[in-house]
Chains A and B, each alone.
Chain A
Amino acid sequence: MQRKVSLFVPCFVDQLLPEVAVDTVKVLRRIGYTVEFPEDQTCCGQPAFNTGYWDEARPCAEHFVQVFKNADIVVCPSGSCVTMVRTFYPDLLATSSLRDDAITLASRTFELSEFLVKVAAVTQVGATFPHSVTYHASCHGLRELHLRDEPLQLLRHVNGLKLIEMTRYDECCGFGGTFALKFADISAAMGNSKADSVAATGAEFVTAIDPSCLLHLQGILGKRHAAPRTIYLASILAHDGSTQKSAAQKSSAQETT
């Protein structure tokens, strides 16, 4: 039987960080999965939901459920967006006719590292990345999905990768969606504290399971003209050695675009 997953690409990844999704597809294919991308997907509704506009978020959630309800497994390169589907959809759609579909979909939707380690039972994806990397535990992945060790297991199995632990690795980067704009001063102060912790490791790269944290950190580090660079987990896992140089360049290119 052919193994197949449906790819859920968060809107900001689709629009701003397409490499993240491209690399996710690469990794999934390399371990033997067929990937389909339902093109009618848009946004899961989290920005409206988190800002308190549940009535505006609900139709988006219903649209999402309609698009994905027939998928066996949904994989997403973001712990935050999976949290929206898994933790919040059942509440948000409690009185919707799609409630039951939402609940089953919630149990079939996985963050990438979670899918690889817990569902596909793979920790060695055949990646080579001869660089020093520090890991930031993204809040939603860590505290909503309880993914503490899964991403680290994957990183430990990457050839040549040197993992450096940062202090307060589980402290928020300060992004928080609309929080980053509504309370820009606080968000940026938190981002700078995080950037200090990242920089103190001396690592070449900082990675995470949420590209939104990395987008924020990239902005903060970019403003400071500081090393290291940000790289999403799948973009590390997508390196098979032959393309290592180009990918490292790609990451820095993203930063300066």
Chain B
Amino acid sequence: MSTTAAQKFLQDAAVKSADLMHREVIRRGMESYDAAHLKGRARINDWEAARQKCQEIKREAINHLDRYLLQFEEKITARGGHVFWAANSEEACTYVKDLATRRGVRTVVKSKSMVTEEIHLGPALEKAGIKVWETDFGEFIVQLREEGPYHIVTPAMHLLRGQIATLFQEKLGQKIESDDPAYLMAVARRVLRQAFFSAEMGISGANFLVADAGVIAISTNEGNGRLCTSVPRIHVVVTGIEKVIPRLEDLAVLWPVLATSGTGQGITTYGTLIGGPRRPSEADGPEEFHVVLVDNGRSQLLADAEQREVLHCIRCGACLNICPVFRHVGGHTYGTTYPGPIGSVLTPHLNGIKEFKHLSYASSLCGACTSVCPVKIDLHHHLLQNRRNATEAGATKSSERLMFRAWRNAMLHPSIYALGGWSMRKALRIVYGLGLAGSILDPMRVWNRYRSPVPLPSESFRARWRKDRAAN
């Protein structure tokens, strides 16, 4: 029998949560993020008002998604760009692959894009014999390691610089003399520079699609995004349909809020707006410009009034950073493109509730994610709704269902409840008295594996209350 996603999650979570080295690396990374994030928030006069504004913008966009997307498409097309509507991963990958084949593309440079991860575009192109270079430094590293991004903003945050130096030594075929970050970056830059100038196609994502101006907006820090979108003769944008926003002026709040939530920056180093291929008067830019609008389950989520706002997400990663579960199990354990709270909410919608419901249960429902979300998605309550959807779809164990039915019946009868509680305490006291705590006979053995046994008073509160009342 093959391992299910849920079994694999449990196994990986057990390993990672006990890996103190991993915990320390993530703790350090998150602590520097926390400090930057707090400082960044302090730069914004009224953070709550900014969140509110971002929520309103995204709500308006999502509620009128059809209109804004068509407006965006019209502008792009008018400038000679192409817009392709992809219903799913396969359609999106086929479009890009066919385009690349038709144009004789042998090398592709990519800037960072989670949607291309979601649809597995890189492997699809490689399979067609096309060399794909990830040019974001973190993505470049995880690509060399043949693994997915660990985090949606900082893909290689789980690695120490020594590990990166060793990796470069092994994979780049050159002598690596130091693990100094600037040196390692220079090595990567030299390698990638050649890729940029040999590539016939550049692929990017988009942080926002601006409807009224008809441009894509990209926030980056490394400069690789600009090279990907301007040097090769074809530029393909692969993005989700939910990225559209109504107006150019909305970027005035969305850009700084995204940067603040993502990395604690006031604004990212580069903010790029692109609306089509190179015009006759322009010195550089691609000859061809394509936008692939990926649905891949999103319009189904749009139809769900209760959870539609999940499409507000701007992929800043703030919910991952604050999540105590993410901090302990790490990004790869989730086994999904989008890890952390947003991934646990979204993945059952994109990839099926039956296979991915466990992620919605893998949360203490602490609500830290919701408290930091810059577009105010009610993340932890959506986890509760996913859980309810899972039980309603009959995707949970029938033994669990029977247990809760029995439990409900007891709770409706105070005397049965009281008797049940008394018997449970009595039974546990006997088991523990025999020194069998943690054994197969101990119904609390899962608890007791990591914790000392719960207190087992001889009398419940209600018994004491009744006695006191009788005495007075």
Known: A15-B425, A179-B363. A53 touches B404 (CB 8 A): yes
Q: Are B451 and A39 in contact (CB under 8 A)?
A: no
Chain A residue at minimum C-beta to C-beta distance from B400: A51
Most chain A CB within 10 A, of B10, B421, B465, is at B465
Known: A43-B417, A190-B328. A172 touches B455 (CB 8 A): no
Interface size for chain A: under 10, 10 to 19, 20 to 34, or 35 or more residues?
Answer: 35 or more
With a cutoff of 8 Å between Cβ atoms, the chain A residues found around residue B425 in the complex are 15-16
Q: Are B460 and A18 in contact (CB under 8 A)?
A: yes
Q: Are A182 and B361 in contact (CB under 8 A)?
A: yes
**Interface CB pairs A-B, < 8 A, 21:** A11-B417, A14-B421, A15-B460, A17-B455, A18-B464, A22-B464, A41-B414, A42-B410, A47-B404, A52-B384, A52-B388, A59-B412, A60-B411, A60-B412, A171-B324, A183-B362, A184-B450, A185-B14, A190-B364, A215-B454, A218-B452
Select which of B362, B453, B457, B465 is within 8 A of A39 by beta carbon.
Answer: B465
With a cutoff of 8 Å between Cβ atoms, the chain B residues found around residue A215 in the complex are 454
With a cutoff of 8 Å between Cβ atoms, the chain A residues found around residue B447 in the complex are 180-181, 184, 219
Q: Which of A6-53 contact B (CB under 8 A)?
A: 9, 11, 13-19, 21-22, 37, 39-43, 45, 47-53
Most chain B CB within 10 A, of A21, A45, A51, A52, is at A52
Q: How far is the CA of A214 from the CA of B137 in the complex (A)?
A: 44
Known: A186-B17, A188-B450. A139 touches B414 (CB 8 A): no
The interface size of chain B toward A, counting residues with CB under 8 Å, comes to: 63
Chain B residue at minimum C-beta to C-beta distance from A253: B455
A68 to chain B, nearest CB (A): 13
With a cutoff of 8 Å between Cβ atoms, the chain A residues found around residue B421 in the complex are 11, 14-15
**Which 5 residue pairs are nearest across A and B when measured between Cβ atoms?**
A176-B364, A219-B451, A222-B452, A52-B387, A188-B450
Asked if B272 is at the interface (CB within 8 A of a chain A CB), the reply is no
Among B139-147, B196-204, B279-287, B367-375, the one that faces the other chain is B367-375
With a cutoff of 8 Å between Cβ atoms, the chain A residues found around residue B412 in the complex are 42, 59-60, 63
With a cutoff of 8 Å between Cβ atoms, the chain B residues found around residue A39 in the complex are 414, 462, 465-466
Name A's B-contacting residues (CB within 8 A). Answer: 9, 11, 13-19, 21-22, 37, 39-43, 45, 47-57, 59-60, 63, 139-140, 143-144, 170-172, 174-191, 193, 215-216, 218-220, 222-223, 254-255, 257
Q: Are A191 and B363 in contact (CB under 8 A)?
A: no
Contact with A along B301-325 (1 / 0, CB 8 A): 0000000000000000000000011
Q: Are A189 and B328 in contact (CB under 8 A)?
A: yes
Chain B residue at minimum C-beta to C-beta distance from A216: B451
Q: How far is the CA of A17 from the CA of B401 in the complex (A)?
A: 27
With a cutoff of 8 Å between Cβ atoms, the chain B residues found around residue A255 in the complex are 452, 455
With a cutoff of 8 Å between Cβ atoms, the chain A residues found around residue B396 in the complex are 52
Q: How far is the CA of A97 from the CA of B303 in the complex (A)?
A: 28
Q: Which of B1-54 contact A (CB under 8 A)?
A: 10, 13-14, 17-18, 23
Chain A residue at minimum C-beta to C-beta distance from B429: A257
Known: A15-B421, A186-B17. A220 touches B450 (CB 8 A): yes
